[in-house]
Amino acid sequence: MVDAVFSGILLGTTGYAMVSVSPIERPYAYTACTVGFCHALAGLVKSLVSKKNFTKRIKRLTCSCLEIMTVPLINIELYLKSEQSSPLALGHGLFIVPLAFDVITKVAPNEEGDEIATQTLKDLTILGNIISLLFLAANENISVYGLMALAAFTAKYGAILMDNLLTSTGEGTSLIAYAILLGLVPMALRSGSVDLPAQ
């Protein structure tokens, strides 16, 4: 039942972000918010429906998409918005490769070695995009980008830490962190309202 609450929070923040972000002007950010919305919806259905096997499979697929797609799509949007770093934007589209491998191993699992290799590729993609977001935060001097990077790091690695400290708290930590990350998207896309003072 607690997962339903956290999924509801993610559903609310992604719904707010989807309403605030124009799909025509900001398609990458809107797609990232839509992925979060679908994952939250799958989490709610899994919590409320008795057919756990089917909903569990769908939630695993949406979880992979949420982990791999959100930060690169947000990065593409923020880099396109940036005046200095705009040429680097589409390089973040390389997340398609680990996403394809991850979905293939989720749909048709083969060997243990394939899953470990896919997990390593996925972790490198996530870390690379978090570091890229931190670079943009420092380069553009915008604090919200740094908060988004912290939320993305917490969603992946903070959840693992929390699960090791307190059993069954990792998923809730991840959902809250993604809710914060995607809730900050509209604020990050607004220009000039989140700048840090120059030092």
How many distinct structural domains can be found in the chain? 1
What are the C-alpha distances in Å from 196 to residues 57, 61, 135, 140, 172? 43, 38, 15, 9, 31
What's the whole-number mean pLDDT along residues 36-52? 85
pTM: 0.85
pLDDT of res. 193: 42
The answer, yes or no, to whether residue 170 has pLDDT greater than 80, is yes
What's the whole-number mean pLDDT along residues 39-54? 81
Q: Which span out of 1-10, 40-49, 89-98, 148-157 was modeled with the highest average pLDDT? A: 148-157
Q: What CATH number corresponds to the domain at position 95? A: 1.20.1070
pLDDT of res. 194: 39
> Is the residue at 195 inside a domain?
no
For residue 17, what are the domain limits?
2-188
> Is the residue at 177 inside a domain?
yes
